[in-house]
Amino acid sequence: MTPLEGKIHYGYCLLTYIHLSIVSIIVIGILILLLFGNVIGNIIMGFGIYTFLNYWVMILYLLRKREPYNLSSEIMTSMAKPGKVIIRPARPQDAPVGARLMFYAGVNYMRAFFGSTERQAITVLRRMFSLPGHMTSYTYAFVVEDGIDIVALFSGLNRRSLRASNRASWMYGPVWWIAAPIWQIPKMISAYYEFDKAVPPVLDEEYYILHLAVLPEKRGQGIGGQLMVFAENMAKSKGLKRMLLDVEIENEGARRFYKRLGFREAKFVTDKSYCKRFGIKGSIRMVKSIAIQKKNTNL
Ligand SMILES: CC(C)(COP(=O)(O)OP(=O)(O)OC[C@H]1O[C@@H](n2cnc3c(N)ncnc32)[C@H](O)[C@@H]1OP(=O)(O)O)[C@@H](O)C(=O)NCCC(=O)NCCS
């Protein structure tokens, strides 16, 4: 068996195991209901059926043939120019470094969402990275390749993909406990609500940079700048008018970096409960208007 076949085999075993566990919960619920006829049987059976439906929705979602980014030849050519870094859509196999980069992109946020220590948070992110469609997945990420590994990453979403990624996160529902410790899940949900409530929304004509990071040893070499230019071209080719992102108030290096690229600081978010949840002084919504190009419907 090759390593890939081994992984697939392991994956199928895991899915079968989850499936059988869910079916067992339903059977136990039915048995309790038949034997004792009490409410506990109803609750267990209801939970089992809910989990069962979620599980199959997720499997069907994973099996859907999806090609989130069909890069135009214009963008592919700009990626191949000499002196420029190689940028490509992220893949599930990028998870080890991809997860680290997502962590660096928002250390305080990632700790609140995925685990109080760097190690815990990166472990959870690494498992989640290879599942498609949700916010910290490879699906909406682009990476910079350097030899055999990746050294930088950004995730960019428009309003539609942001909504789709939210839906995907909920759809995974009961299987998150495989990726994250069970006690972390309520924290993830409340952090998600806090973030969603506090930061300004993303509108139809906007492209939102959710994560951006370069490995520490590769910073200051122009890689981050090239990624942002790439992201801007991406947004333009989708016919969008503005680029957006949220940066921590205290991340002065990144604020300088974005300002140099033409972003302005549009709104300070300093809600008490938001700052407390993420252990920050607040964040800033930064915005950049971008020239309008003819819409490319291929993207
Ligand atoms: C911000 C970041 C993506 C910039 O990428 P980069 O490849 O270093 O950027 P470039 O080489 O194109 O430009 C360097 C600029 O980045 C800024 N910068 C911010 N943090 C930096 C760091 N740790 N090292 C070097 N430059 C940094 C500086 O302002 C620098 O500008 P200067 O030359 O005027 O001093 C990168 O530093 C990074 O990954 N930081 C940690 C993650 C982060 O803060 N992400 C943003 C979250 S919103």
Helix (H, G, I), strand (E, B) or coil at 282: coil
Query: Which ligand 1 atom is nearest residue 209's CA?
Result: 48
At 299, is the pLDDT very low, low, confident or very high (cuts 50, 70, 90)? Answer: very low
Is the shortest distance between the CB of 230 and ligand 1 below 6 Å?
no
Mutate to test the pocket of ligand 1, among 211, 257, 284 (most ligand atoms within 8 A of CB): 257
Helix (H, G, I), strand (E, B) or coil at 1: coil
Is the shortest distance between the CB of 279 and ligand 1 below 6 Å?
no
At 10, is the pLDDT very low, low, confident or very high (cuts 50, 70, 90)? Answer: low
**Nearest-angstrom CA–CA distance, 216 and 194:** 29
143 alpha carbon to ligand 1 midpoint, in Å? Answer: 16
Q: What is the pLDDT of residues 124-152, one digit of tens each?
A: 999 899 888 999 999 999 999 988 889 99
**Nearest-angstrom CA–CA distance, 161 and 137:** 12
Show me where the domains of the chain are located. Answer: 3-63, 73-289
Q: What is the pLDDT of residues 253-271, one digit of tens each?
A: 999 999 999 999 999 999 9
CATH of domain 73-289: 3.40.630.30
Helix (H, G, I), strand (E, B) or coil at 158: strand
Helix (H, G, I), strand (E, B) or coil at 169: helix
User: How many alpha carbons lie under 13 Å from residue 257 in its C-beta half-sphere?
Assistant: 21
B/e letters for 144-170, b = 16+ CB within 10 Å, e = fewer, are: beeeeebbbbbbbbbbebbebbeebbe
**Nearest-angstrom CA–CA distance, 260 and 253:** 11
What does 201-264 look like in DSSP terms, one character per residue? P--TTEEEEEEEEE-GGGTTSSHHHHHHHHHHHHHHHTT--EEEEEEETT-HHHHHHHHHTT-E
* Chain-centroid distance, C-alpha 106: 12
Is the shortest distance between the CB of 213 and ligand 1 below 6 Å?
yes
What was the pLDDT predicted at 11?
Answer: 65
Query: pTM (2 decimals)?
Result: 0.78
Is the shortest distance between the CB of 247 and ligand 1 below 6 Å?
yes
Query: Which ligand 1 atom is nearest residue 251's CA?
Result: 44
224 alpha carbon to ligand 1 midpoint, in Å? Answer: 7
Q: Which two tokens stand for residue 124?
A: 């959870």
What was the pLDDT predicted at 81?
Answer: 58
162 alpha carbon to ligand 1 midpoint, in Å? Answer: 25
Q: Which two tokens stand for residue 295?
A: 């819409």
